[in-house]
Amino acid sequence: MEEARFRTLQLVEPLSDEQLNRVYSPILSPLAWDLGHIANFEELWLVQTVGRREPLDGELGRFYDAIENPRSTRNELPILRGDELRSYLDEVRERTLEVLEGMDLEASEDPLLADAFVYELILAHEHQHNETMLQLLQMVERYEPVGAQPPGSSAGDGPEMVLVEGGEVEVGAAAEGFAYDNERPRHAVELESFWIDRTPVTNRSYAEYVRDTGDEPPMYWEPDGDGWWVRTAMGSAVPLDRDQPVVHVSWHQADAFARWAGKRLPSELEWEAAAAGADPEHANLDQLAFGCAGAGAYGKAPSDCGAVQMLGDVWEWTSSDFTAYPGFRAFPYREYSEVFFGDAYKVLRGGAWATRRNVIRRSFRNWDLPDRRQIFAGVRCAKDA
């Protein structure tokens, strides 16, 4: 928990209070709201629910309720700012540690405490908000990351696509260990054999598609005047690396690219089957790269079918709607998954460079609206065998 908070504060260290409170996009919260929400979520679950203590301020909960307060309105709320916000983060954490000291996780039959679920939940929640904050930080002019490091591993050569043999496969999270409700229960599905791209789609390939179709370029692409593109994230124009995975594309763009290439998007079940054997320890994750590795990197740690970078670098859009698995049970609250089920949201898999390493797993299901581009999303195509 100390490491998670250190990384949260490291992200905002270069920013002024004015930048923390500025609205950069109606679909992203001001960073001050995110920070208060991180602390309030911790207070709700660990201090109030587990510790059975009164909140520091009973009014704050409704201002930091992510369901009740659309992102476009959050800066209009009487949220904490400046020194009050920093004090709240510290005071909640102090009370959380007091509660933790008094807990006997081994003896508990409470499902919130069994296997330390609620503590894993708090960590995952803070890590996931770090990634949301990074979406906004792409819009902050002259933002200088603290502690940035280049991604490791060199790119490797290989075929364009690899075969995933059909048959019965198990998908979803196992009963043991931390996972979200939408990843369970683990169940068997029957899949036909299919081909999947060995690497994510590159900027080079996507630029060919834009040139051929006249489609809108990805977010943060601007023409360089010489027939190529520059990337303008964080207010600086940097030549676009042709060999890195394309990022900041919507589902509609990903689907259109796949059809232009004579392929399709994989279903999320196909994606999970193709990712079998992928190792998050050999992937561009954990935020510190502040960008993608070249397509084909981490070639010495492929998934079982031979695909690389199934985890990390860019989230990958799938063709699947975000729906419940057979036997789904909401836990610990409906608003995490259940209220989003239906055909409005599309599933993404695999994590991105902005995703914390201990958040991602092969069964992890992300979702967003198909027109959203601010997320670190790219493309990996499939086709029938």
pLDDT at 150: 87
What does the alpha-carbon distance between residue 70 and residue 27 come to, in Å, rounded to a whole number?
8
Residues 346-368 have a mean pLDDT of 97
Domain range 2-137, CATH architecture: Up-down Bundle (1.20)
CA 73 to mean position of chain CA atoms: 23
Q: Which two tokens stand for residue 286?
A: 């954990």
- Single-letter amino acid, residue 212: D
Average model confidence (pLDDT) across the chain: 96
pLDDT at 115: 85
- Overall CATH class of domain 161-384: alpha beta
Check pLDDT > 70 for residue 24. yes
pLDDT at 114: 86
What's the pLDDT tens digit per position in 112-153? 888 889 999 999 999 999 999 999 999 999 999 998 998 878
pLDDT at 109: 81
Q: Which two tokens stand for residue 266?
A: 């994989």
Q: Angle at CA 209, nearest 5°, toward 205 and 210?
A: 115
Residues 244-253 have a mean pLDDT of 98
- Read off the pLDDT band of 92 (50, 70, 90): very high
Residues 301-322 have a mean pLDDT of 98
Percent of the chain with pLDDT over 90: 93
As a whole number of Å, the CA-based R_g of the chain is 21
HSE-CB of 46 using CA atoms within 13 angstroms: 29
Residues 187-191 have a mean pLDDT of 98
Helices and strands in the chain, H and E counts: 9, 12
What does the alpha-carbon distance between residue 99 and residue 52 come to, in Å, rounded to a whole number?
9
- Read off the pLDDT band of 374 (50, 70, 90): very high
Collapsing DSSP to helix, strand or coil, 102 comes out as: coil
Check pLDDT > 80 for residue 200. yes
CA 92 to mean position of chain CA atoms: 25
Percent of the chain with pLDDT over 70: 99
Check pLDDT > 70 for residue 199. yes
pLDDT at 107: 65
* Residue whose pair of structure tokens reads 């048959």 in the numeric block: 167
| HEC letters along 257-298 | HHHHCCCECCCHHHHHHHCCCCCHHHCCCCCCCCCCCCCCEC
Between the alpha carbon of residue 164 and those of residues 48, 127, 140, 171, 302, the distances in Å are 47, 32, 41, 15, 13
pLDDT at 136: 98
Residues 169-191 have a mean pLDDT of 96
Check pLDDT > 80 for residue 108. no
Q: In the chain, what are the domain boundaries? A: 2-137, 161-384
Check pLDDT > 90 for residue 102. no
What does the alpha-carbon distance between residue 350 and residue 348 come to, in Å, rounded to a whole number?
7
Residues 210-239 have a mean pLDDT of 97
What does the alpha-carbon distance between residue 20 and residue 28 come to, in Å, rounded to a whole number?
12
DSSP class of 245: B
Burial of 368 (0-12, 13-18, 19+ CB in 10 A): buried
More confident residue, 104 or 159: 159
Check pLDDT > 70 for residue 311. yes
